[in-house]
Amino acid sequence: MEYALAMRNCGICSASVSDEANLCTKCADALSKPPGFCAEQLLSTALKPTEAALVDCWGRVHFLEEMTPIGRRPVARGTAILEASVSRNHAEISRDESGTWILRDTGSSNGTKLGDKVLTEPTPLTDACMLTFGGVGLYFLPDVSGLISNQVVASTVTVRPEDLQLTTPEDEPVLPEEATFAGFPKIETQMFRSSAGGSGLLDMNGIRVQLTSSQFELVELLVAQMRADAGLPIEVRGFVPSATLVSSVTWDSPYPTDNHLKQLIRRVRKMLESAELGNLIESRRGFGYRLRCLPIEVAES
């Protein structure tokens, strides 16, 4: 006996698709995607999601809040596109008092498009319209209740015993205390970028450390990820993949590698240790790097 494959409709053109898909092949292929761009380079976090969302070329749903920033820099709330053509603060999507969704370019280097039109001013969005940030395309849908919500749910993360083995570069041995995850200290953390751009100051519990541009960007990414992962178990919270760090930090070399990242990590570790803040950067095979502390916001007086 033969069974018919369960079918549903593409969220953009309503063509028939398999029961596990949100987009048909034609609509997925119509979205711009740089060579080598992969799903892991597109991340999103919505703490108060609305019914609206962006849909990527893999058919994944990225929910929008009332105001959602979009850019290359991972943030606690928003959509991060970790690709060189996307600016750190590229664009934002917000809903106005009338309920209309508005797209704004926030001074990006490579522009934001609505369909084939380059945005020069805030522009209303329509159902199933195509948005392009730099070289990365996404669809906008004001209501995705009919789609499969296929984002990874943080609470479903499973940690296997073999994943808990910590690793550091060969010349940086694992310290005995790094085999446990209990007692991560809470440290009041602020970051101040120089008014001229580039370098900046890291303030942790009142101890200030001067950082170069690349060092500042590295620590900023680690702080943002630890804060964004507040709902995750401490065993997996706050890790940023090496590939994400390599693609997001500004380097002197036109072709940065993992070795450039290891050297940068080593320098930042030594600076933090010299400031008597301790070894605050941890690495783990398959996960990446994270802070070994909980960087809390400084309470306003």
CA neighbor of 56 nearest in space, from 79, 73, 74, 77:
79
- State the pLDDT at residue 26: 96
Give the domains, in start order, of the chain with CATH numbers.
7-141 (2.60.200.20), 154-296 (1.10.10.10)
| Each residue's pLDDT tens digit, 56-91 | 999 999 999 999 999 987 666 899 898 889 998 999
pLDDT tens readout for residues 242-252: 989 999 998 98
Report pTM. 0.54
What residues have CB less than 8 Å from 151, skipping those under 6 apart? 44, 60, 61, 62, 63
Q: State the pLDDT at residue 254.
A: 83
What CA–CA distance (Å, rounded) separates 290 from 241? 9
Alpha-carbon span 122 to 80, nearest angstrom: 20
Q: Report the pLDDT value the prediction gives residue 252, as an integer from 0 to 100.
A: 86
Distance CA 83, CA 135 (A): 8
Residue 220 CB neighbours (<10 A):
20
What tokens appear for 69 in the block?
């920033």
In angstroms, rounded to a whole number, what is the distance separating the alpha carbons of residues 150 and 285? Answer: 26
The reported pLDDT for the residue numbered 196 is 64
CB neighbours (10 Å) of residue 141? 23
Whether the CA torsion 197, 199, 200, 204 is positive or negative: it is positive
**pLDDT beneath 50, residues of the chain:** 1-4, 152-182
